[in-house]
C-alpha cells in the first residue's frame, strides 16, 4: 500500500484529481477517499473501464494521473492498457499501472505505454505469503517538465549542491525523478522502508518467479475448464473462460496466461450453501492473500472488499456470492479433487 499511496501522493503533490476504476484493490480504492480526501486531492471513477473512451470523458483540466490495474482482483478483468496510456499521454498525464496480479513474468506494462508500475510484493512477486512489501518502478519516459508537475522541476528543493545551489528533483535524479522524489520525501517522512530480511525474502522469491507463475497459471486454466464443466457453477470469471469478453485483450497482453486469480458463483447462491462450500475445502486455505504458494479461497464481499460501499462493489461486479480462488503450486489434480469433494458436500 505504501507503493500505491506514495506513487499517488508523489504525482498529485496535494493538488488535482486521480482518475481510477472501482475495480482497484480495495485498500487503494479506500485510500482515494480516506487519504487523498485529506490532502485536498479528488478522484473520479470510470464506471465502465472496458471502453477506454470512458477514461477520456472524465479527464479534467486538473487530472494528474490515470491509475489502473493490469489484471483485476477478484474478477480477473483486463483493461486495454495501451489505449488508456494513449489517452493519458494525449492529456499530458502519466499512466500508473498496479501490476501485482500479473507480475512481471506475465506482463511488462512499460511495453504498452505505462509510465510507472507498482507492485504489492506481498503477493506473487515474493510468492510465499511470508512478507509485506512493495515496489515502484519508473521508465523516465514521461515528460514531467510539461508544466503540470512543478514538484519535479519547478520548486528548488533543500537538496542543495555542495556549492549551496538549490536543485530540483530533476537536477538530482535525472534518470529517476519520480522514485528519487519518493525516496527523498515519502520514504523519509512517512516511513514504509523495508527491512533487510524482508528484502532478502523478496529477492529470494523473485528467483523462482517464472517457475511459480507459469505453473499456477496453467493450473488456473485447468481449474477454469473444470468449473465450467460443473453443473453447480453459475458463472466463471477469467480470461480463459469460454465466454469471457477478455479473450482478445488476453491474447494481446497475456500470451503466457492471464493470471492465477479467478472467481465463480454457485447456482445455489444462498448464504448457507456458500459457507458450507468454503468450509468443505481441505487443500484450499481460507485466506485474504493472493499469489501465495498455497491455493486460497475467499468470499470477497465479506472480507477483502467489505470496506467498499455497496455501489462501489456493484461497479466492481462483486456480488455476495462471489467466490475467489488464488491458485498456488499444489498438484492441479489435488486442487480439482478438493473442489470436487466440496461440490459433493453441498449437493
Give residues in contact with ligand PLP (CB under 6 A).
1, 4, 25, 27-28, 69, 73, 98, 100-101, 120, 122-123, 132, 134, 290
Query: Least distance to ligand PLP from the beta carbon of 122, Å?
Result: 3
Query: Least distance to ligand PLP from the beta carbon of 67, Å?
Result: 11
Encode the chain in three state secondary structure: CHHHHHHHHHHHCCCCEEEEECCCCHHHHHHHHHCHHHHCCEEEEECCCCCCHHHHHHCCCCEEEEEEECECCCCCCECCHHHHHHHHHHCCCCEEEECCCCHHHHCCHHHHCCCEEEEECCCCCCCCCCCCCEEEEECCCCCCCCCCCHHHHCCCECCCCCCCCCECHHHHCCCCHHHHHHHHHHHHHHCCCCCHHHHHHHHHHHHCHHHHHHHHHHHHHHHHHHHHCCCCEEEEECCCCCCCCCHHHHHHHCCCCCCCEEEEEECCCCHHHHHHHHHHCCCCEECCCCCCCCCEEECHHHCCCCCCCHHHHHHCCCCCCCEEEECCCCCHHHHHHHHHHHHHHHC
Query: Least distance to ligand PLP from the beta carbon of 174, Å?
Result: 29
Q: Which is nearer to ligand PLP, 10 or 168 (CB)?
A: 10
Q: Which is nearer to ligand PLP, 168 or 216 (CB)?
A: 216
Q: Which is nearer to ligand PLP, 1 or 204 (CB)?
A: 1
Q: Which is nearer to ligand PLP, 113 or 300 (CB)?
A: 300
Q: Which is nearer to ligand PLP, 132 or 160 (CB)?
A: 132
Q: Which is nearer to ligand PLP, 28 or 168 (CB)?
A: 28
Query: Least distance to ligand PLP from the beta carbon of 332, Å?
Result: 23
Query: Least distance to ligand PLP from the beta carbon of 235, Å?
Result: 22
Q: Which is nearer to ligand PLP, 123 or 212 (CB)?
A: 123
Strands of the sheet with 233-237, listed across from one edge: 233-237, 261-266, 323-326, 296-298, 285-286
Query: Least distance to ligand PLP from the beta carbon of 201, Å?
Result: 13
Query: Least distance to ligand PLP from the beta carbon of 134, Å?
Result: 6
Amino acid at each position: 500500500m505504501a507503493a500505491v499511496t506514495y506513487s499517488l501522493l508523489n504525482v498529485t503533490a496535494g493538488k488535482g484529481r486521480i482518475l481510477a476504476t472501482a475495480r482497484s484493490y480495495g485498500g487503494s480504492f479506500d485510500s482515494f477517499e480516506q487519504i487523498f480526501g485529506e490532502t485536498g486531492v479528488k478522484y473520479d471513477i470510470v464506471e465502465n473501464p472496458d471502453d477506454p473512451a470512458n477514461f477520456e470523458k472524465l479527464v479534467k483540466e486538473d487530472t494528474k494521473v490515470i491509475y489502473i490495474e493490469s489484471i483485476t482482483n477478484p474478477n480477473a478483468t483486463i483493461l486495454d492498457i495501451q489505449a488508456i496510456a494513449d489517452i493519458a499521454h494525449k492529456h499530458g498525464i502519466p499512466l500508473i499501472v498496479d501490476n501485482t496480479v500479473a507480475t512481471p513474468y506475465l506482463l511488462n506494462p512499460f511495453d504498452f505505454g505505462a509510465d510507472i508500475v507498482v507492485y504489492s510484493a506481498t503477493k506473487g512477486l515474493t510468492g510465499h505469503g511470508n512478507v509485506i512489501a512493495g515496489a515502484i518502478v519508473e521508465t523516465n519516459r514521461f515528460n514531467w517538465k510539461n508544466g503540470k508537475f512543478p514538484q519535479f522541476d519547478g520548486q528548488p528543493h533543500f537538496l542543495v549542491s555542495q556549492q549551496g545551489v538549490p536543485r530540483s528533483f530533476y537536477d538530482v535524479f535525472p534518470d529517476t525523478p519520480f522514485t528519487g522524489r519518493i525516496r527523498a520525501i515519502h520514504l523519509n517522512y512517512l516511513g514504509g522502508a523495508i527491512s533487510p530480511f524482508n528484502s532478502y525474502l523478496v529477492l529470494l522469491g523473485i528467483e523462482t518467479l517464472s517457475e511459480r507463475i507459469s505453473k499456477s497459471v496453467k493450473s488456473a486454466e485447468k481449474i477454469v475448464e473444470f468449473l465450467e464443466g460443473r453443473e453447480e457453477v453459475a458463472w466463471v470469471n477469467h480470461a480463459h473462460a469460454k465466454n469471457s469478453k477478455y479473450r482478445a485483450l488476453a491474447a494481446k497482453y497475456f500470451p503466457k496466461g492471464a493470471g492465477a486469480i479467478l472467481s465463480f458463483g454457485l447456482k445455489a447462491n444462498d448464504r448457507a450453501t456458500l459457507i458450507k462450500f468454503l468450509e468443505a475445502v481441505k487443500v484450499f486455505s481460507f485466506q485474504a492473500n493472493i499469489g501465495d504458494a498455497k491455493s486460497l479461497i475467499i468470499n470477497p464481499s465479506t472480507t477483502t472488499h467489505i470496506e467498499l460501499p455497496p455501489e462501489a462493489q456493484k461497479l466492481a461486479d462483486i456480488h455476495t456470492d462471489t467466490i475467489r480462488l488464488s491458485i498456488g503450486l499444489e498438484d492441479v489434480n489435488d486442487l480439482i479433487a478438493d473442489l470436487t469433494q466440496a461440490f459433493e458436500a453441498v449437493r
